[in-house]
Structure 1
Amino acid sequence: MKQQETSKVPPRNEPLRWYQWPFAALGHLMGIWILLILFEWLGGLWGNEVGAHAKTTFLLQLDALQADYPGVLNRLLPWVSELMVNFSDVLSLNFTGMFAFLTPYWHGAVYVTLALMVRIALLIFAYPLFLLAMFLGAFDGLIARQRRIAFVARETETVHYYAYKSLPWVVMGCSYLWLFVPGIMIISPSLMLIPGVIATGLLIQQTLSSYKKYL
């Protein structure tokens, strides 16, 4: 009976392997892209002109980068210019006849895609900050661990467990928020990315400083 009862217990969901994370992130990215397009298309329900919001958001995003991070924008400008040239034919596409009403929806989807690609590029530029925070957090965490060993301090495996489990979710959550929120309203990259960088460094520090004394 016990063997039959235990066999009925559903298997636990296994965590993703390291090689599965890129595919999961790509699926989440597609979901964010679809949600932003739906938000743009439904903008007419609360008074926004369909397609105009995405275009305005895209241009204001570039202006904000020019004001706050001119060096980053200068590195992005050649790529953005080439991207605009490649998308020029797509943006000039206008539907006629009975499908003329689809033109603003098409332009809105194109501008949403352009703005999302620019934010992806900015996120790639920001990942070295995450790596730097991880390095500093690891360095400080190892020092704190050695001090704990030297003074025979109390070990806290609970802190290590939760900090280790929270680390990928903090990095992914910060990345997903940066990809999604600026598509709805203009916000500075510092307000979105810097808190995630600080949290990443603190979690790395706590993960290593609270690690078990004996490996």
Structure 2
Amino acid sequence: MKRRTNYYKDLAADYSRPGLVAESLQSELIALSLKINGMQEKSPPVIGDDYTMSQVEQENKQWWPTHCEALRQGRGDILIGEYRQDLVYFCQDGAYYGIEEQKVREQHWWALIAQPGVTMTWPIVMFHGEFVWFEWSCIDDDTNETLAKGSCVWVRRGHRGGCHFKGEQLTFYRDVFSSPELLELITKS
């Protein structure tokens, strides 16, 4: 029988289900995410001897828990900072080109999946060089109802490059646009 994979084995935190990340680590991850966003260069770095694909993959593994924590905390300011200005984003409502085009739509998604009483989880995450592929689901803390789920790929050139392509399949089972009250909870960029 094939052995199951622990996708979080070598990562700083496990976001595969609720309740696995200590509060002190959550704060550290938010601080790290702000630092990582500040490392993004104006132009994507060239992959070569000075910046290898192996280093990019390691940086993506370091970044991953910071991304999860930023989403759980509704930190839209951090989330938008993860993208390059020239982001290409393919999804059922897109394609979106650049971070301004998708910002209005995506803030509704963030508000729904980060709302109080809901916990987002990422049971599967895989890394290959620039590629980060994951599945996610949002679960109501009281009813255990799945509000939304999806799968996503980021093409992210490590800390220096940020995300330049995102492709996502999203399914929302409850609500499609968030209420104005939920939008207020998302940190504005």
Question: Normalising TM by the smaller chain, what interval?
Answer: under 0.3
The structure that has the greater radius of gyration is: 1
More strand as a share of residues? 2
- Identify, as 1 or 2, the structure richer in helix: 1
